[in-house]
């Protein structure tokens, strides 16, 4: 059976809008995309269809055109947005989990979530004084195609969609330098009287990695409205955590131009971390405490979401203008504002939990990349922004480390190697610390990579875990009126 016929069979069997009567129509529509002849054979049906399109010169053999065609083909397996939304909310009446299970499975089945690519990622955990933290080396996102980059420079630029988080990406064909989204679907919901979208991340960093995005293309901002939205989302989806990146450069995420949150079904290390000491806030029915975590985190718990919003707003508004020169904390320098928070909401049995992580994005001559940012001596492992996911204890490390750490291992074993010079100081420290052999070198490097990430989080922590830092933290708490 040729690959086009196989694919038509698959479409008709799928839970979408096509029936047996549509077979000839579908066959012709697929042939219009991949060609009428030379139908290829491969163990993977999508690969066979893409090969067919290349042989028939429907597309050239480059990453961008193959991604665009792949998503056009997968769109045939995907119900219309209206039908997806209708089924989602009908299932929601049964349970929130039934609705998200359906949407998550659909997003995998139609290859919107790149399951095979994500499986390439390296992931493990490392014990630290703060509990087990999670290390991932992100190998899922494809390398940029130099030919596509060159062509993109010559192509006409467009401002549509305005960014990759806009609702207008639903069904968008894609272009050079911009991802294909023909098979993309977004669930619509209402937050705070505004229309928002709910989708999954194509290159997920954790289980059921969800994104909640504002219909309006407007910059991210953390305020009382944010806390309300996060708590409303975990009321709607109690099986998920939901958090927001900070809204300032250096301490914020990579997409500050579009208001959005991230969530999913994952119990992060920070969420498991215990309360080190309880604190008292002037808000009734709210339990509060300092979390034993490298980043300065206040945990709020209550059965009353409105009380949590009040407590979070109190902390946020005080922090926005709080300075303590003794620990390099400054709300403003030369009129530039530096303070914000990273908030994370989740459920613990019948209580709502809101973790508020204090952030400061100052730079200085000593720390030009950021005073509360990974310092230079750990940037050989991680130099990018510490966003929401890293804040919670899951490292998203660059793909370069897969090969680079192997070279470190060879260096430690005194074998011929091509280790990058910026790893040498660290490698020499490991050499002095351990008795290294071929049997243990991989485990040692993996463990120590995790400990470096713990140091990264300590660098990003505003109030350090020493006497001076914790006294300063208590001073800030004491001023919350």
Residue 34 near residue 4 (C-beta atoms within 8 A): yes
Strand ranges (E), 33-150: 122-128, 131-137
Determine which helix (DSSP H) or strand (DSSP E) holds 162, and give its type and residue range.
Answer: none
β-partners of residue 128 are 131
Provide DSSP, 377-440.
Answer: GGTTT--S---HHHHTTEEEE-THHHHHHHHHHHHHTT------GGGHHHHHHHHHHS---TTT
For residue 161, whether the previous peptide bond is cis, meaning omega lies within 30 degrees of 0, is yes
**What distance in Å separates the CA atoms of residue 274 and residue 33, rounded to the nearest whole number?**
55
Considering only the C-alpha atoms of the chain, give the largest distance between any 2 of them, rounded to a whole number of Å.
75
Tokens of 409: 């291992």
Phi/psi of residue 194, nearest 5 degrees: -115, 155
**What distance in Å separates the CA atoms of residue 311 and residue 352, rounded to the nearest whole number?**
13
Residue 369 near residue 376 (C-beta atoms within 8 A): yes
Residue 398 near residue 384 (C-beta atoms within 8 A): yes
Stated length of the chain: 481
CB atoms within 10 A of CB 417: 15
Q: Considering only CA atoms, which of 288, 291, 294, 293 is closest in space to residue 315?
A: 288
Q: Considering only CA atoms, which of 357, 172, 168, 164 is closest in space to residue 257?
A: 164
Give residues with Cβ within 8 angstroms of 271, minimum separation 6. 241, 344, 346, 353, 355, 392
CB atoms within 10 A of CB 291: 21
Look at residue 43 in the predicted model and tell me its pLDDT. 85
| pLDDT tens, residue order, the chain (481 aa) | 799 999 999 999 998 889 999 999 999 999 999 999 999 988 899 999 999 999 999 999 999 999 999 999 999 999 999 999 999 999 999 999 999 999 999 999 999 999 999 999 999 999 999 999 999 999 987 655 555 545 555 556 578 999 999 999 999 999 988 999 999 999 999 999 999 999 999 999 999 999 999 999 999 999 999 999 999 999 999 999 999 999 999 998 778 999 999 999 999 999 999 999 999 999 999 999 999 999 999 999 999 999 999 999 999 999 999 999 999 999 999 999 999 999 999 999 899 999 999 999 999 999 999 999 999 999 999 999 999 999 999 999 999 999 999 999 999 999 999 999 999 999 999 999 999 999 999 999 999 999 999 999 999 999 999 999 999 999 999 999 8
**What distance in Å separates the CA atoms of residue 480 and residue 282, rounded to the nearest whole number?**
8
**What distance in Å separates the CA atoms of residue 308 and residue 227, rounded to the nearest whole number?**
8
User: Which residue do the tokens 């994104």 mark?
Assistant: 211
Q: How far is CA 456 from CA 294, 370, 447, in A?
A: 9, 12, 14
Residue 322 near residue 476 (C-beta atoms within 8 A): yes
**What distance in Å separates the CA atoms of residue 224 and residue 446, rounded to the nearest whole number?**
40
3-state secondary structure of 233: helix
């Amino acid at each position: 059976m040729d690959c086009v016929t196989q694919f038509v069979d698959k479409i008709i069997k799928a839970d979408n809008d096509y029936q047996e009567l549509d077979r000839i129509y579908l066959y012709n529509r697929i042939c219009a995309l991949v060609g009428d002849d030379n139908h290829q054979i491969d163990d993977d049906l999508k690969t066979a269809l893409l090969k067919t399109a290349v042989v028939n010169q429907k597309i050239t053999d480059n990453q961008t055109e193959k991604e665009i065609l792949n998503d056009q083909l997968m769109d045939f397996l995907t119900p219309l947005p209206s039908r997806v939304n209708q089924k989602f909310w009908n299932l929601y009446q049964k349970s929130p989990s039934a609705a998200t299970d359906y949407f998550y499975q659909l997003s995998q089945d139609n290859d919107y979530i790149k399951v095979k690519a994500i499986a390439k990622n390296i992931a493990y955990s490392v014990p630290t004084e703060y509990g087990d933290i999670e290390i991932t080396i992100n190998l899922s996102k494809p390398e940029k195609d130099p030919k596509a980059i060159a062509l993109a420079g010559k192509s006409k630029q467009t401002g549509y969609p305005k960014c990759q988080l806009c609702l207008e990406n639903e069904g968008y064909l894609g272009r050079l330098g911009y991802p294909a989204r023909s098979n993309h679907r977004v669930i619509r919901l209402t937050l705070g009287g505004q229309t928002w979208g709910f989708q999954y991340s194509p290159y997920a960093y954790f289980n059921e990695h969800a994104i909640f995005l504002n219909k309006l293309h407007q910059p991210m901002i953390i305020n009382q409205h944010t806390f309300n939205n996060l708590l409303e989302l975990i009321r709607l989806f109690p099986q998920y955590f939901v958090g927001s990146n900070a809204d300032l450069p250096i301490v914020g995420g990579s997409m500050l131009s579009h208001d959005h949150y991230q969530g999913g079904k994952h119990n992060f290390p920070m969420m498991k971390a215990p309360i080190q000491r309880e604190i008292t806030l002037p808000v009734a029915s709210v339990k509060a405490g300092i979390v034993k975590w490298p980043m300065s985190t206040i945990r709020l718990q209550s059965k009353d979401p409105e009380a949590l919003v009040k407590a979070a707003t109190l902390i946020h508004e005080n922090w926005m203008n709080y300075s303590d020169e003794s620990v390099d904390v400054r709300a403003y320098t030369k009129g530039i504002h530096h303070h914000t928070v990273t908030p994370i909401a989740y459920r613990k049995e019948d209580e709502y939990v809101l973790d508020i992580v204090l952030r400061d994005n100052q730079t200085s001559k000593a720390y030009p990349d950021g005073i509360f940012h990974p310092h230079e001596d750990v940037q050989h492992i991680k130099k990018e922004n510490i966003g929401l996911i890293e804040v919670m204890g899951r490292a998203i490390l660059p793909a370069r480390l897969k090969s680079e750490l192997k070279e470190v291992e060879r260096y430690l074993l005194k074998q011929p190697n091509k280790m990058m010079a910026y790893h040498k100081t660290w490698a020499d420290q490991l050499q002095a610390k351990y008795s290294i052999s071929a049997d243990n070198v991989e485990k040692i490097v993996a463990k120590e990579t995790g400990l470096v990430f713990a140091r990264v989080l300590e660098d990003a922590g505003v109030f350090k875990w020493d006497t001076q830092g914790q006294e300063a933290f208590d001073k800030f708490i004491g001023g919350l009126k």
